[in-house]
Chains A and B, each alone.
Chain A
Amino acid sequence: MNGLRCGTGARVRVVLPAHLRTLAGVGDEIAVDLDAAATVQSVLDAVERDYPVLCGTIRDHVTQRRRPFLRFFACGEDLSHHFVDVPLPAAVAAGDEPFMVIGAIAGG
């Protein structure tokens, strides 16, 4: 999948947990066009813009903090604890690798 390589306007691939795919009515992967440089924040902003039903499910409505049982992975790295405005790996911004929202393997 080809993405734009400029700082803004990139198309980023996003993989969601199964329950959020069901909630949003989407398949294994979505693509979102960013309004800003590729960061965790701009990706999540774009996901929530295109799929408003996901607002509040990945990050808290009020605090905007990542829900504690979710993680953000890309290019073999755990980006969960990075500042949300740190640029994502170039391969994500280029659309070559997906930004993955992962649900913790836990619970009964």
Chain B
Amino acid sequence: MSGVRVLVGTRKGAFILTADGMRQSWEVSGPHFGGWEIYHLKGSPVDSNRLYASQSSGWFGQVMQRSDDGGKTWTPVGNKFAYEGTTGTHQWYDGTPHPWEFKRVWHVEPSLTDPDVVFAGVEDAAMFRTTDGGQSWQELPGLRTHSTGNRWQPGAGGMCLHTILLDPSNANRMFIAISAAGAFRTDDGGQSWRPINKGLHSQYIPDPAAEVGHCVHRLAMHRERPDVLFMQKHWDVLRSNNAGESWEEISGNLPTDFGFVIDVNTQQPDTIYVVPIKSDSEHYPPEGKLRVYRSRTGGNEWEPLTKGLPQRDCYVNVLRDAMAVDSLDPCGIYFGTTGGQVYGSADGGDSWSPIVRDLPAVVSVEVQSLP
């Protein structure tokens, strides 16, 4: 590996951080698309120069950008996300029916095999796909039109499809998560979907064990063990050993089991990371101490990682798409905060240092391991 490229989406533009394999000395480029919200940008696993970015604005709506040179230059591509067929309704905050309305793209997930194929998770929750490098986008309507769709409700941040996991061992299987509907799986390439929320328990819905309605914040998997999934829910950290058929809580000794991010060490499939956040509504680290928690046992037993992270007067948040892991050994872990810091660890989480300190609020972090 010759290096890594960290892709950072912020409230006011995108930034690209690059380093060699030592991951000690960083170059920063940006802001790209200054002034626009960059909910997410991500590179193709099969062409590291091919990047996609979701650029949006309360004034001007959605724009999609593509780079073919690793983020040096960008070209706007198609930005029309039209729901297919009858739009239907979901529940609004007050429980009344509300028509589906496209607002923005939260997450882009390039195909594992074809740089021109990308999946997009959008608000109001739906899945879109391009097969022509982003020029046009078509909905996979089987998700939005699921029989439970009229019962889905937005979370505080909107009714967003924010997580897309592609199964490396099965091209027809994908996992997604929606706030606040829950997790879903397809086994036929996105034509049909079913909720995978058995074992989730959410006190904030009338039936805490309901089929849908759970506020799942993030899912993660190790690519060599795709049937094992990890979940950070609004409250509770959970694990599934059977591709989401059932879940068990693994919050263990965490100081709070609320949080947004969760990720898996690429070298150690049972080593996972979360950032506990105090809630309800505070949404900052407990005691003003920014701590990543690591479990080396696949959950339940957690250790705080503090070296290099602020341990006093820290009241930032780490949003759901703002943690990523590289594929080097030892694994590098990166996360961004609403205070504009991006922290990195080149030793599996033992120690951390800020790569940048003063960006706009960070919404998303991805990393590419460069050949």
A interface residues, Cβ below 8 angstroms from B: 17, 19-20, 23, 53, 55-58, 60-62, 67, 69-70, 103-104, 107
Contacts and interface: CB of A to CB of B under 8 A. Distances in A.
B58 A55 contact: no
A19 B35 contact: yes
Contact of A103 (B36, B59, B63, B102): B59
Interface stretch (B46-54, B75-83, B158-166, B297-305): B75-83
Interface of B: 35-36, 57-63, 76, 79-82, 102
A57 B60 contact: yes
* Majority secondary structure of chain A interface residues (helix, strand, loop or mixed): loop
Contacts of A53: 63, 76
A69 B59 contact: yes
The 9 closest A-B pairs by CB, nearest first: A57-B60, A69-B59, A61-B80, A53-B76, A103-B59, A56-B79, A62-B82, A56-B61, A57-B61
Given A19-B35, A19-B36, A55 B60 contact: no
Given A53-B76, A62-B102, A19 B82 contact: no
B63 A67 contact: no
Given A19-B35, A19-B36, A62-B102, A67 B80 contact: no
Contacts of B60: 17, 19-20, 23, 57-58, 67, 70, 103
Given A20-B60, A23-B63, A53-B76, 6 more contacts: A19-B57, A56-B63, A57-B61, A61-B80, A62-B102, A67-B61
B340 to A, nearest CB: 14
A68 to B, nearest CB: 9
Nearest to A108: B11
B287 to A, nearest CB: 28
6 contacts: A23-B60, A55-B80, A61-B79, A61-B82, A62-B80, A67-B60
